[in-house]
């Protein structure tokens, strides 16, 4: 089951009433950086860009971008995927209400199968900590806390598979943009836990884990720059760059150039 298959939890997770100020400001910080990248790439190639959004959620990104003519005119096509039907339905309703369906499409699709997608893009993006949601298929949400052993995340096969496939969908000179990643430190862990608790979820991880998970099936990994480079062995490290999204080591943006 996808993390966001529960429609009630979906509504809560997108409702600003239940979101911490850290999460809300991270949303805006990554959007500001994304607008810069879209402009930079479109101006460089002297043509509007094509975008694939992995984990489109409630269509927040195209909703904000379409209201800014200077940015929206630099986008030729915007495709979104999500592996949760509840998110796909939310996104499609938003797109229809905004009347941007001629440029934007949404598909129910598991990102682990991106190798079969068959289209090419100038930008492949994933925003608002989605990259940290790629947990092992056999992760025991029901029994992890009781088991007493800790998950070794020196490697993350799902993360590597998804972004290797995404890398293959890029046109030459294209980029993957991971809009925001949690930075792995104790302060960020505590903020993650507080955010989940505010949504009424039950934490099943502790300070010894490099991720935060809940009994309800939510998972969110934290990263260091070194770990991300190891997770992307198919990319020259010189083509990976990191941008802080704040001044307190909470979140960072990652650009992966082809």
Task: Split the chain (258 residues) into runs of 10 and give each run's mean pLDDT.
Answer: 55 70 94 98 97 96 97 98 93 97 97 96 96 92 87 95 98 96 98 92 95 94 98 98 98 98
| pLDDT of res. 149 | 84
| pLDDT of res. 111 | 96
Q: Assess if residue 214 is contained within a domain.
A: no
Q: In whole angstroms, what is the distance from residue 139 CA to residue 141 CA? A: 6
| pLDDT of res. 6 | 55
Q: Assess if residue 193 is contained within a domain.
A: no
Q: Which residues contact 58 (CB under 8 A, 6 or more apart)?
A: 10, 14, 87, 90, 91, 94
| pLDDT of res. 13 | 64
Q: Assess if residue 202 is contained within a domain.
A: no
Q: Assess if residue 194 is contained within a domain.
A: no
Segments forming the whole domain that contains residue 76? 7-142+154-185+221-257
| pLDDT of res. 137 | 86
Q: Assess if residue 15 is contained within a domain.
A: yes
Q: Is the dihedral of CA 74, 62, 195, 17 positive or negative?
A: positive
Q: Assess if residue 192 is contained within a domain.
A: no
Q: How many domains does the chain have?
A: 1
Q: Assess if residue 201 is contained within a domain.
A: no
| pLDDT of res. 1 | 45
CATH number at residue 122: 3.40.50.150
| pLDDT of res. 2 | 52
Helix (H, G, I), strand (E, B) or coil at 156: coil
CB 187 within 8 A of CB 159: no
CB 82 within 8 A of CB 57: yes
Q: Assess if residue 1 is contained within a domain.
A: no
10 Å CB burial of residue 206 (0-12, 13-18, 19+) is exposed
């Amino acid at each position: 089951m996808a993390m966001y298959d529960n429609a009630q939890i979906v509504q809560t997770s997108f409702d600003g009433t239940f979101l911490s100020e850290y999460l809300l400001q991270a949303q805006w910080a990554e959007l500001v950086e994304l607008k810069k990248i879209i402009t930079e790439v479109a101006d460089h190639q002297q043509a509007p860009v094509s975008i694939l959004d992995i984990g489109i959620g409630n269509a927040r990104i195209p909703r904000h971008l379409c209201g800014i003519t200077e940015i929206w005119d630099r986008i030729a096509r915007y495709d979104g995927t999500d592996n949760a039907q509840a998110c796909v339905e939310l996104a499609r309703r938003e797109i229809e209400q905004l009347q941007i369906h001629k440029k934007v499409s949404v598909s129910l699709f598991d990102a682990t199968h991106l190798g079969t997608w068959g289209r090419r893009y100038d930008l492949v993006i994933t925003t608002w900590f989605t990259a940290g949601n790629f947990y092992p298929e056999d992760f025991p949400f029901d029994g992890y806390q009781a088991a007493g052993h800790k998950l070794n995340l020196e490697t993350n096969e799902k993360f590597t598979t998804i972004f290797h496939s995404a890398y293959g969908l890029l046109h030459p000179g294209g980029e993957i943009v991971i809009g925001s990643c949690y930075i792995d430190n104790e302060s960020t862990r505590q903020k993650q836990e507080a955010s989940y608790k505010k949504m009424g979820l039950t934490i099943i991880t502790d300070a010894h884990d490099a991720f935060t998970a809940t009994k309800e099936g939510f998972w969110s990994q934290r990263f260091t720059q070194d770990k991300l480079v190891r997770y992307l062995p198919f990319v020259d490290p010189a083509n990976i760059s990191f941008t802080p999204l704040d001044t307190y080591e909470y979140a960072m943006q990652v650009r992966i150039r082809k």
